[in-house]
Amino acid sequence: MNAVRVNLVDTSLRDGMSSVSHQFTTEQVAAVARGLDKAGVGTIEVAHGIGLGASSIQYGFAAATDAEYVRAAVDAVRSADIAVLYVPGIATLGELDQARDAGAGTVRVAVHCTEADCAEQPIAWARDRGMRVMSFLMMSHKLGPAELAEQARKLESYGAQVIYVVDSAGALVPRGASDRVAALREAVGVDLGFHAHNNLGVGIGNALAAVDSGAHYIDGSLRGLGASAGNAQTEVLAAALERAGHETGVDLFALADTAERTMAPLMKEPQIIDETALILGYAGVYSTFFHPAKRAARKYGVPAREILLELGRRGVIGGQEDMIIEVASELAKTAG
């Protein structure tokens, strides 16, 4: 494949929040954002791990408000654009407006892969106010390439400027990532992105395959910090993309220094693929079900593996977290 310019987007301060119970302080957010900016990362995503407006008893309370996190990051950087995640049904336009007032320049509107229609209002709102709009097709493994491309056409018609294939469950392998990006490349004229989770250990491979098929925006997180098995590792992505002949515009060694000296001390534990993370990817279940499934397993005395496999069989998606308890309870009754 020809060498291309790849825009690295770091999501350590949003997806990575899920691995620290959303407890990064504003000072820690500023320190990480400052290091990423110095390394040349152009877009840094900041918010509660589930996105704007998710700080709650259901998803977990964050250590600060989304607007406070955004302001801390904005004040810490010189060049990078600060982005936020907007999930319709969780976030409100009022919360997006607060993030914009705090300095966020990009919004990433995330919808389930079959529900592009839900993105129309926030995309139009953000474009009208001069924000850059990326849009996520979450759980992209649940649709074939052609069907996913149809959803992408809708997002383009609403005004999305970058459309992402998002492997929310870490269920894709390189061929699946490549086929989906290639289908979108044929269907739309806007830039494409790819967001990997590493549940099957192929997050970097999936990202490289996505680039070869036409994605020019690739998400990562320092040390792989993110929900369940984590994300493609930003500093590894930078090195692998360079070895593949692509340009990222980042300083690999400055990026590695930020991962090693700033992010690593903030992590509760190394980001690994444990049994629960593996089964989550194998079953194709949303990454943020990782900790709730473990808690339900302890409460009901049933294996997390069985809970996740049953959730996968039922086709449960993000927003149906209540099904974790229902399934665990049913499995406990059956076992009893």
Amino acid 1: pLDDT: 58
Contact (Cβ atoms closer than 8 angstroms) between residue 141 and residue 171: yes
Going from the N-terminus, what domains does the chain have, and what CATH number goes with each? 7-266 (3.20.20.70), 275-335 (1.10.8.60)
Task: Classify residue 129 by its DSSP letter.
Answer: T
Determine if residue 314 is labeled as part of a ligand binding site. no
CA–CA distance, 320 with 317 (Å, rounded to integer): 6
Determine if residue 168 is labeled as part of a ligand binding site. yes
Determine if residue 101 is labeled as part of a ligand binding site. no
Determine if residue 286 is labeled as part of a ligand binding site. yes
Amino acid 336: pLDDT: 65
Of the candidates 187, 245, 235, the residue with the CA atom closest to the CA atom of residue 211? 245
Amino acid 291: pLDDT: 86
CA–CA distance, 245 with 193 (Å, rounded to integer): 18
pLDDT digits (tens, 9 = 90+) for 211-269: 999 999 999 999 999 999 999 999 999 999 999 999 999 999 999 999 999 999 999 88
Tokens linked to 68 = 């406070």
Amino acid 315: pLDDT: 87
Burial class of 27 by CB neighbour count within 10 A (0 to 12, 13 to 18, 19+): exposed
Residues of the chain with pLDDT under 70: 1, 336
CA 45 to chain CA mean position, Å: 9
pLDDT digits (tens, 9 = 90+) for 175-192: 999 999 999 999 999 999
Of the candidates 144, 118, 207, the residue with the CA atom closest to the CA atom of residue 170? 207
Amino acid 302: pLDDT: 93
Query: Any idea which residue has 């493609």 for tokens?
Result: 232
